[in-house]
Structure 1
Amino acid sequence: MISTTQTQAQELSKQLYDAHESYKDSSFTHRRFKHRDILPVLQQLGEPLSVSPVGTSLEGRSIHQVKAGTGSIPVLLWSQMHGDEATATMAMFDIFRFLQASSDGFDEMRQTILSNTTLYFLPMLNPDGAERFQRRTSADIDMNRDALRLQSPESVLLKSLQQTLKPLVGFNLHDQNPRYSVGRSDKQAVVSFLATAYDPARSINEVRKRSMQLIVGMNRVLQRFIPGQVARYDDEFEPRAFGDNIQKWGTTLILIESGGQVGDPEKMSIRRLNFVAILTALHAIATQSYSEEKIADYQAIPENGRPLFDLLIRNATAMRNGKPYAIDLGINHVEVNTDSARAFSYRSTIEDIGDLSTFHGLTELDATGLTLTPVRLHPTTLDSIADLRKLDLVTLRQEGIVAFKIRGPIRKNTFPRYLVHLLSDGKLPGRPPGLGQIPTFLLKQGSKTKYVFVNGFSEEATGNGVVD
């Protein structure tokens, strides 16, 4: 049975979801923003928000606190403890815009939150890591494993704020591996939660119970928008982790992990889900409506399952010593930072090969009747991309020639209309394509090339799609 309060929360979440675009801070259009990008946005924040520096990183970058509300319930929220986990930071700035708004249909909700809670936000707790878009600090310390030694100044700051503010609730906001499944299903875990354990026995006291109750409400809200795609982390106690220790120190700790969604590499849709989930949770804290929730509903949320592949090719035929074998290929695309402040490239790998019938992929291709075939290298070393563009790539593709050696520099946006594998040393992936190799190969139907794969990305051999 769903109570009247829960029904109202559901309706409120739908209104927030629909209205998010009007609060979306346009300063953030991609995940790889830097400390210097958030500073002018922080400086522009006004009532009822106040901004103050509360510490500095190892390399001297300022860490700011944004405060809102005058209520008796303190709540602490921090993001980018890991520098490359920026989804919730974007959502925080959307929440700031929401809290500054008025006469938009949310005045009652806003007033309830601000009059009953005092909110302390720490956007970008690890600015040195964000500068490099890496998980760890500039001293190569994983902050979420530094709660005991407190070797990084960022870790010292977080513990100090927890000890002095004594928040009733803390939100530890992260991004997770986007390939986690929900249980053993084929569904991607778009968002995962965790009510961290505070001891090895995974005991449940009132502090941890509150975590579970709040997560139950957030899960119910998100199920409306991503049905069947919410999971929870395994709650094995990690004695070095901040989440586990903050729960142990008496603050109800909610871990939110933003996963991924196919077709949304910059996580704008999950940013929206964070906005909705966090605001509805803050309202539940302000009204104490979470007390109605049952911890059994938390335990019923499926755990994160076995990682999915980015691409799973099923039922391909591979020739080994003249004999055909049926194989599946599991391929993952790994983001690689580039010199550009916001760009990245992919380096793909064949992660597994063989019988993958019990696995799932975010994208799947049935290659029944198709033979896995190595690509061929064009016999002539070309001087430039301009020379490549002069070639009859359609005919060459049918001959299996997809790889080209280029002498000159390769500039972005100068590539031809078809997928090609460019080389500087003339070396191709192994023959035949195998475990751990770059997935550049052909899928052929008889003598006809059906699909071309370059670095794990594909197009039909007769297609004319442009590769970004």
Structure 2
Amino acid sequence: MNKDSSIKLLLGVFLFILQLTVSCEQKGTIPDIDVTVLESAYEKYIEKSVQARRFKNADVIHLVKDRKGDFEVEEIGKSVKGKAIYQMTLGNGPTKVLLWSQMHGNEATATMALFDLFNFLEGKDDGFEDLRTKLKEKLTLRFIPMLNPDGMDQWIRRNALDIDLNRDAAKLTSPEAVILKNARDSFDPHFGFNLHDQNIYYTAGETATPAAISVLAPAYNYETEVNDIRKRAMQVIVGMNRVIQEVAPGHVGKYDDAFEPRAFGDNIQKWGTSTILIESGGYPNDPEKQYIRKLNFMIILHALQEIADQSYESYSLDDYYGIPDNSTRLMDLVLRNLTIKRDDLQYEIDLGIRQREVDAHDSYFVNGAIEDLGDLSIFYGFDELDASGMEIVEGKIYEKTFERISDVSPENAMELLKEGFIAVKVKEALERELYDLPILALNKSTSIPFDIRTGGSTNFYLAQRGELKYAIVNGYLISLNAQPKIGYKQRVI
């Protein structure tokens, strides 16, 4: 090799190294994630006065308006029914972040997580000082924790005008929509977190895994283009997804990004704020969404940390697009390979059941119904049972009448179920009285509906060779060989 060739080779190697160095500096190093820090912060600062996802505005408003210390709290308007709506501000950093929750009144999971986050941000002398200081010095945080207090109090999606606030960003008919628009415009945040709940039947892709958290960087136009503003939201989401994959692998889905011109998320993205949608879905054995509350706390705190130190910039958009799209593939219960006899015909089906929540006494009960039957091979259940070789048997009503439902213990209920009695009669019952037992309670009803078809009743037995094995009571799968459990949400009928 001659001298000129050697010089060219060395120059080429030097330029390659220089280019690689610049590229690494531009992209940054993928940051490490220590989820134990996030988990310990949650366990220390969980707001213990809130342990269920249904609460009224008056139950929790003190957690907002009575904050002391570093938070600046101010009323920024009133709801249709005159309830105060507050914003809370903390920090004095150059990067502004706006977080709003409970735009839909019956979507409270993230609100609980914000209460936990407020506690964390007020903490002292606990080992988290460096993180807390970073957030306050690098960011200015602004929260609107309960945008729809009227909807909260009725536990409904919409506001008191029956308007969906998330479809009122353009017309601004509702006072709550005007409040959010003014809050965004006056603050002009760099980042926004749009916090919601979704139904529990979403899955992460075409799988059996519930989408405990779904995410989206909403589109700002019909072409779903990606500019720098939307790109930043996508990158922040990648970091949030990394956290959940550490603690709940596979439980993240991504919403369809079709542009919705009436929605706040899409418009706030359009107005120049990098907007991140978080939707709290379902998780096994978490009816009050307390584990999903924890996930919200962890990913929001982590996202704020990465925004503060700008480490989100190291993430590739490929990792955002790699998050599986949401599907609706879940049922509460799926019975597989169930034999049905109708007249002289015998055939085999899968049977899927969903339970709808119904409000009552500031709580709720469920109504189970057959959602679908036939070939349900693309659907999955929170509970599943292979019913091969089993047949459906109607349940009976116990002949004795109890004075009241409280006279029936869980042990009594299980013994009656084992004997083929799927319901008991009660003489006295409050209107719409709720109870927690694995058996039907009849006050006015005199029969049990039995109709194995779509939309039909979900109260029957499964028997094998003449022996009762399982009871299906209001959509709950109850093994007759197990100990009685609690957690049933039923109403005297």
Task: Report the TM range for the smaller structure's normalisation.
Answer: over 0.9
* Contact residue 333 and residue 477 of structure 2 kept, 8 A: no
> Secondary structure at 2:368's aligned position in 1?
strand
Distance 1:293 1:314 in 2: 42
| One-letter amino acid of the counterpart of residue 446, structure 1 | R
2:211 is aligned with 1:192? no
Q: 2:389 aligns with which of 369, 372, 379?
A: 369
Distance 1:138 1:411 in 2: 26
Distance 1:273 1:285 in 2: 18
> Secondary structure at 1:150's aligned position in 2?
coil
Q: Which residue of 2 aligns with 1:424?
A: 444
Q: Identify the range of structure 1 (357-366 vs 65-74) with the bigger mean alpha-carbon deviation.
A: 357-366
Q: Which residue of 1 aligns with 2:15?
A: none
* Contact residue 428 and residue 443 of structure 2 kept, 8 A: no
Cα-to-partner distance string for 1:120-148 (whole Å, 9 max, x where unaligned): 10011000000011111011110111111
2:247 is aligned with 1:228? no
Distance 2:407 2:238 in 1: 60
Matches within 5 A, 1:75-154: 75-154=97-176
- Size of the aligned set, in residue pairs, is 461
Q: Matched residues, percent identical?
A: 43
CA shift at 1:405, angstroms?
A: 4.1
CA shift at 1:4, angstroms?
A: 8.3
Q: 1:344 aligns with which of 364, 377, 398?
A: 364
* Structure-2 change in CA distance of 1:64 and 1:380 (3 Å): same
* Contact residue 88 and residue 174 of structure 1 kept, 8 A: yes
Distance 2:161 2:351 in 1: 38
Distance 2:435 2:118 in 1: 42
Matches within 5 A, 1:319-468: 319-340=341-362, 343-378=363-398, 384-385=404-405, 397=417, 400-409=420-429, 419-422=439-442, 424-431=444-451, 433-467=452-486, 468=488
Q: Which residue of 1 aligns with 2:278?
A: 256
> Secondary structure at 1:337's aligned position in 2?
strand
Distance 2:275 2:314 in 1: 18
- Cα-Cα RMSD: 2.4
Distance 2:380 2:199 in 1: 15
Q: Which residue of 2 aligns with 1:210?
A: 232
2:180 is aligned with 1:161? no
* Contact residue 370 and residue 453 of structure 2 kept, 8 A: yes
> Secondary structure at 1:65's aligned position in 2?
strand
* Structure-2 change in CA distance of 1:386 and 1:48 (3 Å): closer
Distance 2:62 2:279 in 1: 27
CA shift at 1:19, angstroms?
A: 2.9
> Secondary structure at 1:108's aligned position in 2?
helix
Distance 2:77 2:65 in 1: 16
Distance 1:177 1:413 in 2: 26
> Secondary structure at 2:247's aligned position in 1?
coil
Distance 2:311 2:267 in 1: 26
Q: Which residue of 2 aligns with 1:219?
A: 241
* Contact residue 194 and residue 256 of structure 1 kept, 8 A: yes
> Secondary structure at 2:446's aligned position in 1?
coil
If the length of structure 2 is used for normalisation, what is the TM-score? 0.88
2:288 is aligned with 1:266? yes
Listed as ranges, the gaps of 5+ residues in structure 2 are 1-23, 489-493
| Bigger Cα Rg | 2
| One-letter amino acid of the counterpart of residue 403, structure 1 | A
Cα-to-partner distance string for 1:261-304 (whole Å, 9 max, x where unaligned): 11111111111111111111111111111111111110010010
Cα-to-partner distance string for 1:142-173 (whole Å, 9 max, x where unaligned): 01111111111000010111111110011000
Q: Identify the range of structure 1 (13-22 vs 373-382) with the bigger mean alpha-carbon deviation.
A: 373-382
| One-letter amino acid of the counterpart of residue 117, structure 2 | I
* Contact residue 173 and residue 255 of structure 1 kept, 8 A: yes
| One-letter amino acid of the counterpart of residue 372, structure 1 | I
Distance 1:388 1:70 in 2: 59
Cα-to-partner distance string for 1:78-103 (whole Å, 9 max, x where unaligned): 00000111011111111111111122
2:37 is aligned with 1:15? yes
| One-letter amino acid of the counterpart of residue 371, structure 2 | E
Listed as ranges, the gaps of 5+ residues in structure 1 are none
CA shift at 1:364, angstroms?
A: 0.7
* Contact residue 421 and residue 440 of structure 1 kept, 8 A: no
> Secondary structure at 2:296's aligned position in 1?
helix
* Structure-2 change in CA distance of 1:392 and 1:200 (3 Å): closer
* Structure-2 change in CA distance of 1:61 and 1:415 (3 Å): closer
Distance 2:383 2:85 in 1: 39
CA shift at 1:397, angstroms?
A: 4.2
Distance 2:474 2:343 in 1: 25
* Structure-2 change in CA distance of 1:89 and 1:388 (3 Å): closer
Q: 1:36 aligns with which of 37, 46, 58?
A: 58
Cα-to-partner distance string for 1:1-24 (whole Å, 9 max, x where unaligned): 9x985443x12x331113311111
CA shift at 1:430, angstroms?
A: 2.9
Distance 2:436 2:193 in 1: 47
Q: 1:68 aligns with which of 90, 98, 116?
A: 90
Distance 1:88 1:394 in 2: 37
| One-letter amino acid of the counterpart of residue 474, structure 2 | N
> Secondary structure at 1:33's aligned position in 2?
coil
Q: Identify the range of structure 1 (364-373 vs 33-42) with the bigger mean alpha-carbon deviation.
A: 33-42
Distance 1:323 1:55 in 2: 65
CA shift at 1:466, angstroms?
A: 4.6
> Secondary structure at 1:140's aligned position in 2?
coil
Distance 2:293 2:83 in 1: 25
* Contact residue 398 and residue 448 of structure 1 kept, 8 A: no
